[in-house]
Structure 1
């Protein structure tokens, strides 16, 4: 009887810990995926508020197009990303995980070299993969081109893709998600695979299925850098360079060596 009682007493805390782990896992996943979901909700709420304002003042209400909603959606993603990072900061502080979640270390030469190699692979691999997948599946790459002749849209692009997305997505995916999965005992190989798939899948809504597959491969590079060097900085550097192509790399390549432009090669 003593053995039976001891066994029952030992399994109850384990079951309770398991249920708590699942609940916390859902919270972590919600924070990681929150920026896209919140951005959709904020954009829809903004469009509804604008239409209501038009109706109140007896003005003509037009169905919004993607082009008209694009700036609002991009700004909504910026706001949503920082809300999610603030939530991650608060949550990780309470769970004593803040150092692992916000793990930015000084770059070493090996890490810098690996970041640059990862960027070059993504620079030439992403257009080629997008072209091939679009041809095979009949799908399309990322839609909604940015009008860089507009200072307003250029500023939004910089704030979103060069400042916000690389920093916030590294914290949420390669920081929060990796720290949590490691804490519950996942091996790095499983984290690399599952994290890359989640990163790519969460890009289906704002972009397309083809591009989400490409982003999955890009996420594999970023997760690999994070896990190899135990720091968010190498992946952040690769992410910034990749997103800043229209301002840094592509104009330079077009001027110096047009034949090496990724678009012409793919």
Structure 2
């Protein structure tokens, strides 16, 4: 009589650098990333022209803030996913994007680290450049902006949840995969190069030169989550955790809660 052995537990990602797995090769590279960046910039310019100029002395309409903030990044991320379907094996394999609770927990750890780093970095940076120059581009748009509760909640959910997914697909997904596709002496060097380049490009892509240094600091724990797990979900979760407080700070005034 034979006895069945219990299923072996599935190993969980840890805070040690994961061993690279063998994934099917894809046929897209830096050209795909440059195309997605072009879509991002062109769609942002198109939306700006489509919405038209804001009359002098008047705040930007809430509709324009929502569309101008959300549409370009969402469209660019969609193009990135379509490229993986057309020229690769789909987003699950090519972008290393799939659901796993263990990776969520790793992302939460790096996200918590990111919050600490961000708060300290923002404190130092604000004192270096001055309070008047410390507001982000999105923050400047919504500052003193009369928004309905519905619009504020939409913006909050985008900044907290959806925006990080889109940005991670582009930078720690498509760009990361393009760098890893190059031939390096050792696999770990390719991953390290992908980490460094994606962090720098992510910061620069926000087109806020004064905040680039701070954005690099903010991006480091997010990139580390991608580096250590070898997959994208941890970076997405870390990014969402990091964005929660800034998104909440934009929502609370609309709800009548003052922030310090």
Q: Please, what TM-score do these two structures have when normalized by structure 2?
A: 0.68
Residue 209, structure 1, aligned to residue 209, structure 2: yes
Q: Max radius of gyration: which structure? A: 1
Query: C-alpha root-mean-square deviation of aligned residues, in Å?
Result: 3.3
Gaps of 5+ in 2: 1-26, 185-189, 252-258
In structure 2, the partner of 1:18 is none
Residue 203 of structure 2: which of 197, 200, 203 is its match?
A: 200
The correspondence of residues 254-265 of structure 1 with structure 2, limited to 5 A, is none
More helix by percentage? 1
Map 1:8-157 onto structure 2 (within 5 A): 25-32=30-37, 34-48=39-53, 62-63=55-56, 65=58, 67-69=59-61, 71-98=63-90, 99-109=92-102, 111-138=103-130, 139-142=133-136, 143-144=139-140, 145=142, 150-157=148-155
CA–CA distance in structure 1, aligned partners of residues 63 and 122 of structure 2:
24
Offset of residue 220 of structure 1 = 2.1
Shift, 1:31, TM fit? 0.5
1:185 counterpart SS class: coil
The normalised TM-score by structure 1 is 0.67
Cα distance, 1:96 vs structure 2: 1.5
Instruction: State the Cα deviation string for residues 35-88 of structure 1 (Å, max 9, x = none).
Output: 35522431233115xx7xxxxxxxxxx3265x4156414323322223212222
* Distance in 2 (alpha carbons) for counterparts of 1:184 and 1:38: 29
Report the CA distance between 1:171 and its aligned residue: 1.0
Of structures 1 and 2, the one scoring higher in RCO (CA 8 A, sep 6+) is: 2
Q: Deviations over 1:206-254 (max 9, x none)?
A: xx43433222222222222112212211111122222223677999xxx
Structure 1: state its 5+ residue gaps.
1-20, 52-61, 252-262
CA contact (8 A) 1:141 1:210 kept: no
Residue 92 of structure 1, CA deviation: 1.7
CA 1:152–1:38: 2 relative to 1, 3 Å:
same
Structure 1 residues 135-144 or 234-243, which shifts more? Answer: 135-144
Q: Distance in 2 between matches of 1:149 and 1:83?
A: 24
